[in-house]
A and B are shown apart, each in its own frame.
Chain A
Amino acid sequence: GAVVSQHPSRVICKSGTSVKIECRSLDFQATTMFWYRQFPKQSLMLMATSNEGSKATYEQGVEKDKFLINHASLTLSTLTVTSAHPEDSSFYICSLQGGGPETQYFGPGTRLLVL
């Protein structure tokens, strides 16, 4: 399957600051990437679909002005959590579509802790 990396693996920040998370495809050109959020002991919740060269599509209830997504190349998508608050603390995971229709490969995740 495709190899996906995320950076950083974990980040601690103060309330009100912004945090950028990178998602890279190491061996595959991904036109579509997905961003998920996962709270402890819960399932994956899709936040948005990131399409290379176009605006991201956000799920209902996800604030597009708070979670900025940029997919400028076929190997990189970034998620910026703006003005982070403690309730934004979560595990953020990206995935890319590859190997066949609907098949998704996930990155290792980024643990965000907002103090």
Chain B
Amino acid sequence: GENVEQHPSTLSVQEGDSAVIKCTYSDSASNYFPWYKQELGKGPQLIIDIRSNVGEKKDQRIAVTLNKTAKHFSLHITETQPEDSAVYFCAASDPQGGSEKLVFGKGTKLTVNP
């Protein structure tokens, strides 16, 4: 089945700097890659996603890039703000799973220092 690796596990940046989180996946048949932001004690919130027919997608300060050949995708946050501090999870669709399941990375705790 699909396996997703996520790095780094923790990331600390200064306010205004950029943050990059990287994920790799194992199954080349995966075609959907969402990113979730989870604040303490809350459920994950979908912040951006990308499908395998595009290489990059942007939404204001957030962007995701996908390299299908290398089987990796990345989340880029520019001009970080303290409210961006949270745990971020990447995920990939599981082609073998049926029911359109997602496989999640282990998460990255992002801290934005004022």
Could you tell me which A residues sit within 8 Å of B by CB distance? Answer: 1, 4, 6, 32, 34, 42-44, 46, 49, 51, 57, 93, 97, 101-109, 111
- CB contact under 8 A between A106 and B43, given known A43-B105, A44-B89, A101-B100: yes
| CA A8 to CA B46, docked complex, whole Å | 22
Known: A32-B99, A103-B34. A43 touches B106 (CB 8 A): yes
A32 to B89 CA separation, bound complex (whole angstroms): 21
Contact B105 A102 (CB under 8 A): no
CB <8 Å contact, A102 and B100: yes
Chain A residues whose C-beta falls within 8 Å of the C-beta of B34 in the assembled complex: 102-104
B101 sits at the interface (CB 8 A): yes
Asked if B104 and A34 sit within 8 Å, CB to CB, the answer is: no
Q: Are B45 and A106 in contact (CB under 8 A)?
A: yes
Contact yes or no, B107 A43, CB < 8 A: yes
Asked whether, in the complex, the Cβ of A43 is within 8 Å of the Cβ of B89, the reply is yes
